[in-house]
Amino acid sequence: MKKHLNPRHAVLSIAVIIFTAAFVLSVLAAVTIGAVKISLGDVYRIVLYNTTGIELGDGAFLSGGTIFEIVWNHRMPRVLMGAIVGVLLAMCGVVMQATVQNPLADPYILGISSGASLGATFSIMIGASAFFTGVLATMGTAFWAFLGALGAMALVMLLSHMGGGRVTSAKLVLAGSVVGSLCGAFTNMMIYIGKDAENMKSVTYWLLGSMVSARWPKLLLPGILCILGMLFFLTQLRTLNTLLLGDEAAITLGVDLAKRRRLYMIVTSLLSAVAVCTCGIVGFVGLMIPHIVRGFAGSDHRFLLPLASLSGGIFLIWADVLARVIIPNSEIPLGVITSAIGAPIFVYMMVKKSYGFGGKD
């Protein structure tokens, strides 16, 4: 291995390797945990057979039956969904915090979550078929959530461009809050006038996030976008670092700020919209994970981005395991778990003075 010029980089490079290993191990471990007790041997024989084709034991058992269904068609996609969504949210959090130069930014701040909630609530409470015919009427909740997220994002972009002048980070954050409260108002109105208790429950369930609906086909789009997004941002690490220095410094160090900012906004909005529409709103991950990782790894995106993304995946895998097993035969909404774990960790970091959250003290 090439000698590291900065000893810190050597440590952080090793951390990236360890976190990658932990990520893979988390996936493998989480698959063994669930309401139904299945022996480790059975779980891994099924996973091994279906990923590599190596047949250890009875082929029929490995490719069909109840145990196969649980392990391969329920648990595995669910664990992977948690991993993918966690990576997406943490990655978007890191990039958005750098892009708007605001430590409070998270993938949902630009109205994305509220737009998605509005879309989902509309779909569940009123139903698209009440207004549309043809293709639109048959689209599911995820589609409307995605549409709502994109609509909110477009509105935020439009608002922050209004009145001329440069798009500043303050404008973006404020526009996000405005659009957020506007969407929130409509969402609440629909819930308020809604009569169906069953629908109300689905809305709540959706708003709190869940991996219950994870199946292999639903993994395809988020999985592909997650990989593409990661590859894209890996080419942008230097620019992301430069953005940390503020608008003026970024420009004088050769970054076409307006263009980059717009591009990163659009990409992260799309990626978080995909995350939201696959599993609802999972709070705290995109905000908290980047801060926790920054606390020990520093602000250099060459390490922060991979470490935070992996941590996001690992965190959500285990949060979902908790959601499945804490109450036997029942599920706790994922958003509840992430916030319940996230808040104390966040408080701990605030009390522990060494990390300033970007404060200037």
Partner 1 sequence: MNIETRSVSVSLSKKQIVRGASIKVRDKQFVGLLGPNGSGKTTLLKSIYRVLKPSAGTVLIDGEDIKELSFRDTSRRMGVVSQFNNISFDLSAQEMVLMGRAPHKKAFERDSAEDYRIAEDALKRVDMLDFRDRSFLTLSGGEKQRIILARALAQQVEMLILDEPTNHLDIKYQLQIMDVVKSLGCGVLAALHDLNLTLMYCTYVYIMKNGEVVAEGETEEVITERLIKEVYEVDCALSRNPVSGKLNVSFFSAV
Stretch of 20-28, 49-57, 74-82, 254-262 lying at the interface with partner 1 (CB under 8 A): 254-262
Q: Tell me how crowded residue 166 is: count the other CB atoms within 10 A of its CB.
A: 11
As a whole number of angstroms, the distance between CA 198 and CA 188 comes to 16
Least distance in angstroms from the C-beta of 59 to partner 1 = 45
Residue 180 near residue 168, CB atoms below 8 Å? no
Residue 11 is a binding residue for partner 1 (CB under 8 A) = no
**Residue of 26, 141, 160, 236 that binds partner 1 (CB under 8 A):** 236
**Residue of 235, 328, 351, 352 that binds partner 1 (CB under 8 A):** 235
Residue 166 near residue 250, CB atoms below 8 Å? no
As a whole number of angstroms, the distance between CA 214 and CA 107 comes to 21
**Residue of 32, 121, 210, 242 that binds partner 1 (CB under 8 A):** 242
**Residue of 139, 184, 200, 300 that binds partner 1 (CB under 8 A):** 300
Least distance in angstroms from the C-beta of 360 to partner 1 = 6
* Of residues 7 and 328, the one with the C-beta less far from partner 1: 7
Contact code string over 259-278 relative to partner 1, x by CB under 8 A: --------------------
Provide the token pair at 14. 């090793």
Q: How many residues bind partner 1 (CB under 8 A)?
A: 34
Contact code string over 332-361 relative to partner 1, x by CB under 8 A: ------------------------x-x-x-
Distance from chain centroid for Cα 341: 16
Burial grade of 351 (CB within 10 A; 0-12, 13-18, 19 or more): exposed
Q: Tell me how crowded residue 70 is: count the other CB atoms within 10 A of its CB.
A: 18
- Of the CA atoms within 13 Å of residue 199, those in its CB half-sphere come to 16
As a whole number of angstroms, the distance between CA 43 and CA 45 comes to 6
As a whole number of angstroms, the distance between CA 89 and CA 283 comes to 9
Residue 237 is a binding residue for partner 1 (CB under 8 A) = yes
Tell me which residue of 127, 126, 141, 147 sits closest to 207, measured CA to CA. 141
* Of residues 102 and 213, the one with the C-beta less far from partner 1: 102
Residue 184 is a binding residue for partner 1 (CB under 8 A) = no
Stretch of 73-81, 134-142, 175-183, 295-303 lying at the interface with partner 1 (CB under 8 A): 295-303
* Of residues 56 and 228, the one with the C-beta less far from partner 1: 228
- List contacts with partner 1 (CB under 8 A): 5-6, 97-98, 101-103, 235-239, 241-242, 244-249, 251-257, 294, 298-300, 356, 358, 360
